[in-house]
Copies of this chain bind each other. A is one copy, B any other.
Amino acid sequence: MRRHYATIKDIARALNISVSTVSRALRDTYDVNAETRQLVLDKAAELHYRPNFNATGLVKNSSHNLAVLLPGITNYYFSTVFTGIQEIAYRHGYNLILHVTNDDAERELNIIRSLSFSSLDGMLVSVSSQADACDHFQEIIDDGVPVVFFDRVAEHVSTSKVMQDDYNGAFEATEHLIAKGYRRIAHIAGPQGLTFTGNRQQGYLDALRKHKLPAQDSWIIHSGFSQDSGYQDFQQLWQLRSKPDAIFAVNDRKAVGAMLAMKEKKIVPGKDVGVIGFTNDPVSAIISPSLSTIAEPAFEIGKVSCQLLLNHIRKKNFIAEEVVLPGKLIERESTQR
């Protein structure tokens, strides 16, 4: 059906005044009589007038849209980050266009290619695992589109980035295991090539080195981020001749997967094998034994990212910033002997 929505022309015609006056009345009180203004406002309400953002965007060369590019939304971390982004965007009257890549590089590329930057004021991006699409982002940035990366950042692209402190978080997690008496510590890692995966692995390795503990290649397993990956990874670890006595998982989902595998083998997390995750997914408090973890400031990351993007949009020649937010160790049962 697509009826004709009321426009300022309709208001002008109904009131027998010019569109310019209506336009002015609808925004600021600038150059318009209070009486006239009220007439316009009343008529606008009567006709259910809503401004046409296509038109305003065209003339002002700015929509009020931000694009958000995410690998997925069905997990605690990203959905919380998004909520943080939304909090700031809402306050400033920006709309969020959410694109989910399903962690698929091809889909990511398709989405990027189909974006219309003229109806977009900026972008918030967490790249997919296969991060070879970086040059495409660089191209966009060179074209003048404000972009802020968070969490999964494209390393060689020069723009603002917001991350949790992956290195120190991993370091702290590993030291916590050591403090609790575990000595043979394995690492269930994420896919190779991602910045934060590398940082967490380095934190883990450096903590081991500091305490002069053995680091074995076979104790580091790279795979996906899913719970199932964690489950598989543990199976693989347990086939080893020299088994670890503790596990630092790159995120809580993988830690949970590992714990589920342990349960099947009657291995008790904490008592038999220490487990620590990363994220502080709500599930870590629900699972039994409960899961120690490094809490990520997901909501905060969303807020900061969005704020940074808005600064970027408003100020010209904005200098790229890198913000690193600290995590926090949360001790639970899975690291108590």
Residues of A that sit less than 8 Å from B by CB: 1-3, 5, 48, 50-55, 57-58, 61-63, 65, 72-76, 79-80, 82-83, 86, 90, 93, 95-100, 107, 111, 114-119, 139, 143-144, 227, 256, 260, 282-283, 286-288, 316-317
Contacts and interface: CB of A to CB of B under 8 A. Distances in A.
Nearest to A80: B74
28 contacts: A1-B317, A2-B144, A2-B316, A3-B143, A48-B143, A50-B116, A52-B58, A52-B116, A52-B118, A52-B119, A53-B54, A54-B55, A54-B57, A55-B58, A58-B58, A65-B97, A72-B83, A73-B73, A74-B76, A74-B80, A75-B79, A90-B107, A96-B97, A96-B98, A97-B98, A286-B286, A287-B287, A287-B288
A54 B3 CA distance: 19
Given A74-B76, A287-B287, A1 B144 contact: yes
A74 B78 CA distance: 8
A286 to B, nearest CB: 5
A3 B83 CA distance: 30
Contacts of A107: 90
B118 A50 contact: yes
A231 to B, nearest CB: 11
Contacts of A116: 50-53
A61 B3 CA distance: 10
Contact of A74 (B55, B58, B79): B79
Given A50-B116, A76-B74, A86-B100, A3 B144 contact: yes
Contact of A98 (B53, B74, B93, B98): B98
A43 to B, nearest CB: 16
A1 B54 contact: no
Contacts of A83: 72-74, 100
Nearest to A139: B48
